[in-house]
Amino acid sequence: MNSNVTLVKREFWEHRGAFLIMPAVLSGVIVLSMIVGLVLFNYAKINVDFSGDNLSIGFEEHDQGGSLDRDIEKKILIDRRGERQTSKKSEERHIVIQFDDGEVVELSDSEPQVESFFEKNKESLDSGLHGIHLAFVVTSWFVVMVYLLNTLYADRKDRSILFWKSMPISEARVVASKLVVGLVAVPLVATVASWVVQLVYAAMAMIVASQMDQNPWQVIAPNLHILSSFVSQLGLVLYISLWALPLCAWLLVASAYAKRSPFLTAVLPVIGILILEKLLFGSSYFGDWLGTHTPFNEGMMDTLVTNGAIHVTDSMNMVFGLLVASGLLVATVWLRNNRFEI
């Protein structure tokens, strides 16, 4: 048991930048962006240009006599048809929102419309949680694929494989440790980092609500389903790993076999099979199957974006993928035992 833990620790020692520093940097960038947005919300002029006929959400504050007051100038809204909407000043904060269908909504700090606005847009609060987690998942899986593609090749290139072969540890355990690190440990670290940022996001949302003279425990807290989102995101770590297992096992095979470029070793056979199938049968079944077993397939991305329930839509596809992955991992262990030179 201790040797297995040591094998996992070894990967984190050798890839500290990708596994630990990367999530920390990404967390810092996202949190800093939220802080800047909060500062701009209070002290700056905001103009957001949406798509379609919609132009802006605009407001600005003015500094008079060295003190910051709440005199807000409402912006002139002109849609793409050139129609002037409105322009006026108020002694209160006004937020003007023009939607794609041409509807203009004006909200004020002193009006109950603000609370109504939060209520109507409560789903967008959870969307912020899902968007943050999506950024961490996509980034971590790019790191995982690069890691799996190079890890066994690097052991042979720097001759460290000779040291590990002198230890009483089987190659099957070495390969298994690298697979567990890539499929579980790295995505789990990224998920925990995303949880921290999501909590900061929730706190920021409550601060914004309080600055609009609303009770954040009434308009924000009930509409942020943090606990259920965390549970679902934790389940996604295992779910995505199972679906992506055939691809990850193939990357390990390429890493164990490659003489010069693991990337070309992994990509060229796949391209050859795709072209051969297309020429001989005019079909793309292999490409479609491979696409379903990438971490970024359409169904997986929909689940991440909406934080929807996890459904195994094709159990036979998953079982077949696991069988293929098992064969590839056996081949990886064999290559590890019999091909340890560059």
pTM reported for the whole predicted model = 0.74
Residue 340 confidence (pLDDT): 65
Cα three-residue angle 36-41-46, rounded to 5 degrees: 100
Pairing of strands 89-90, 94-98: unpaired
Instruction: Give the strand order in the sheet containing 67-73.
Output: 61-64, 67-73, 89-90
Half-sphere exposure of 227 (CA within 13 A, CB side): 2
pLDDT at residue 86, rounded to an integer: 46
Q: Could you give the CA distance from residue 42 to residue 253 in angstroms, rounded to a whole number?
A: 54
- Asked whether the beta carbons of 240 and 137 are under 8 A apart, the reply is yes
How many whole angstroms separate alpha carbon 190 and alpha carbon 234?
11
pLDDT value at residue 58:
47
Write the DSSP assignment of 282-299 as a string of letters: S--HHHHHHHHTSTT-HH
Report the percent of the chain where pLDDT is more than 70.
Answer: 69
73 or 322, higher pLDDT: 322
Please give the structure tokens belonging to residue 187: 């995505």
pLDDT digits (tens, 9 = 90+) for 118-141: 555 555 677 888 889 999 999 999
Q: What is the pLDDT of residues 101-117, one digit of tens each?
A: 556 555 554 444 444 55
DSSP states along 229-256: HHHHHHHHHHHHHHHHHHHHHHHHHHHH
CA-closest candidate to residue 193, choices 124, 135, 126: 135
Highest mean predicted confidence (pLDDT) among 196-210, 244-258, 326-340: 244-258
Summarize pLDDT for 52-91 with one digit per residue, the tens.
444 444 444 444 443 334 443 444 444 444 444 444 444 4
- Range in 10-24, 209-223, 228-242, 315-329 the model is least confident about: 209-223
pLDDT of residue 112: 47
Task: Return the SS3 of 73.
Answer: strand
Query: How confident is the model over 233-242, as a mean pLDDT?
Result: 88
Contact 219, 115 (CB under 8 A): yes
Tell which wins on pLDDT, 25 or 61.
25
Residues 23 and 189: beta-carbon distance below 8 Å: yes
